[in-house]
Structure 1
Amino acid sequence: MIRLLVAEDMHIVRSALVALLDGEDDLEVVASVARGDQVLDALATTTVDVAVLDLEMPGGDGVSVATRIRREVPGTRVVILTALGRPAAVRAALAAGVDGFVLKNAPVDDLVDGIRRVAAGGRVLHPELAAAAVQRGDSPLTPRESEVLALVAEGCTVRETAQRLSLSEGTVRNYLSVIVDKLHARSRTDAVNIAQGNGWI
């Protein structure tokens, strides 16, 4: 019997997951929580083989919780479940040592089979997600360009960005022009969206 913990903040989704997983002969949900900061407490009192974590939930996202599980409860395997297949999220999850990454819109069998494979010591990652994560790769921006774009993302004007980084306004505009070109963006706002979506800022 594979003992599971399910962490999902949406009650209906969590209840459905628990019912679906409990319906399998070899799976048993022994704990379910609504927040990331409740996961480690549950693992401290219950033996769990695989933790199924929502990527985005209050009290700690799936990746940060997975990092803590790896450190504090290394015997528990982790599957991230998400509606968002962003390459940056996949890379962060893999870097955290997550064993599986399954999309919420995948067939139920994909999740069930993935849990079984992870429990047996394997890893699960949808081929399209793996390809996207590799193709996007590392940020094309220099550290200084990343600093400039991060401040713009915070809502800073060119003048404020220049003051914060001790640069001239002209230099900041030049950086932004280069950034837009590098990211093949339509505008500064588009550049921010692209960089954030890939986890580059």
Structure 2
Amino acid sequence: MIRLLLVDDQALVRGALAALLSLEGDLEVVGEVARGDAVVEACRELRPDVVLMDIEMPGLDGIAATAAVRRALPAVKVLVVTTFGRPGYLRRGMEAGASGFVVKDTPARELADVVRRVAAGLRVVDPALAAESLAAGVNPLTERETGVLRAARTGCTVADIAVALSLSEGTVRNHLSAAIGKTGARTRAEAVRLADERGWLL
């Protein structure tokens, strides 16, 4: 039997995944977790072979949680299963140590097969997402530019961002200008949208 831990902040999604995967004779759901910061402890207690990991969760995002699992329990494989098939998420997820990356609308039979392949030590990535990730390229934003865009995403003014990040307003404007140029945007709002769509702002 392949032991599975489901990690998703939506109970309905966890329940649906558990019901579908439990129909497979060789898969057993041994636990469910709703927060990213509870994953490592659950893995220590339940000893799953594969963790099915969402990305956007409270406590700790799925990419950081993947890295934590891989550090604490290297034998446990992580398969990212997410609604958000963003190229930047894929790249960062694989860099964090995920063995696979698929979107939630993957058919149940196909998902079960991906779980088996990941458990066997293979790396599995949704082909369309892999192609999109290659086309999008590496995230060109610096850490500071990313932070400024994250703050701008909430509609903050330059002055608000400067206070929140302990920067001068001139420095904030410089980072915003650089981020606008790197994303190919015309405005700050467009830069935020494009960076978010590419998975660069998690």
**TM exceeds 0.5?**
yes
Instruction: Please state how far the C-alpha of 1:110 moved relative to its aligned partner.
Output: 2.0
Give the aligned residue type for 1:90.
Answer: L
Once residues 118 and 82 of structure 1 are traced to their aligned partners in structure 2, the CA distance between those partners, rounded to angstroms, is: 16
- Aligned-residue sequence identity (percent) comes to 43
2:82 maps to what in 1? 82
TM norm structure 1: 0.83
The correspondence for 1:164, drawn from 150, 163, 167, is: 167
Deviation by residue 1:106-125 (Cα, 9 ceiling, x = unmatched): 11122111100000110110
1:12 maps to what in 2? 12
Once residues 64 and 159 of structure 1 are traced to their aligned partners in structure 2, the CA distance between those partners, rounded to angstroms, is: 27
Give the aligned residue type for 2:110.
Answer: D
Instruction: Please state how far the C-alpha of 1:178 moved relative to its aligned partner.
Output: 6.3
Once residues 84 and 115 of structure 2 are traced to their aligned partners in structure 1, the CA distance between those partners, rounded to angstroms, is: 19
Give the aligned residue type for 2:158.
Answer: T
Of stretches 22-31 and 134-143 in structure 1, the one that deviates more from structure 2 is: 134-143
Of stretches 38-47 and 113-122 in structure 1, the one that deviates more from structure 2 is: 38-47
1:44–1:176 Cα change, 3 Å: closer
Instruction: Please state how far the C-alpha of 1:53 moved relative to its aligned partner.
Output: 1.2
Give the aligned residue type for 2:157.
Answer: C
Structure 1 residue 54 and structure 2 residue 57: aligned? no
Helix, strand or coil: the match of 2:167? helix
Once residues 46 and 160 of structure 1 are traced to their aligned partners in structure 2, the CA distance between those partners, rounded to angstroms, is: 43
- Asked if structure 1 preserves the Cα contact closer than 8 Å seen for 2:86 and 2:198, the reply is yes
Aligned residue-pair number? 198
- Asked if structure 1 preserves the Cα contact closer than 8 Å seen for 2:81 and 2:104, the reply is yes
Helix, strand or coil: the match of 2:57? coil
2:22 maps to what in 1? 22
Is the radius of gyration larger for structure 1 or structure 2?
1
Structure 1 residue 117 and structure 2 residue 117: aligned? yes
Helix, strand or coil: the match of 1:20? helix
CA RMSD of aligned residues (A): 2.9
1:186–1:112 Cα change, 3 Å: same
Structure 1 residue 34 and structure 2 residue 37: aligned? no
Once residues 36 and 142 of structure 1 are traced to their aligned partners in structure 2, the CA distance between those partners, rounded to angstroms, is: 25
Once residues 143 and 56 of structure 1 are traced to their aligned partners in structure 2, the CA distance between those partners, rounded to angstroms, is: 19
Give the aligned residue type for 1:22.
Answer: S
Give the aligned residue type for 1:106.
Answer: T
Give the aligned residue type for 2:167.
Answer: R
TM norm structure 2: 0.82
Once residues 122 and 148 of structure 1 are traced to their aligned partners in structure 2, the CA distance between those partners, rounded to angstroms, is: 37
1:190–1:75 Cα change, 3 Å: same
Once residues 178 and 64 of structure 1 are traced to their aligned partners in structure 2, the CA distance between those partners, rounded to angstroms, is: 26
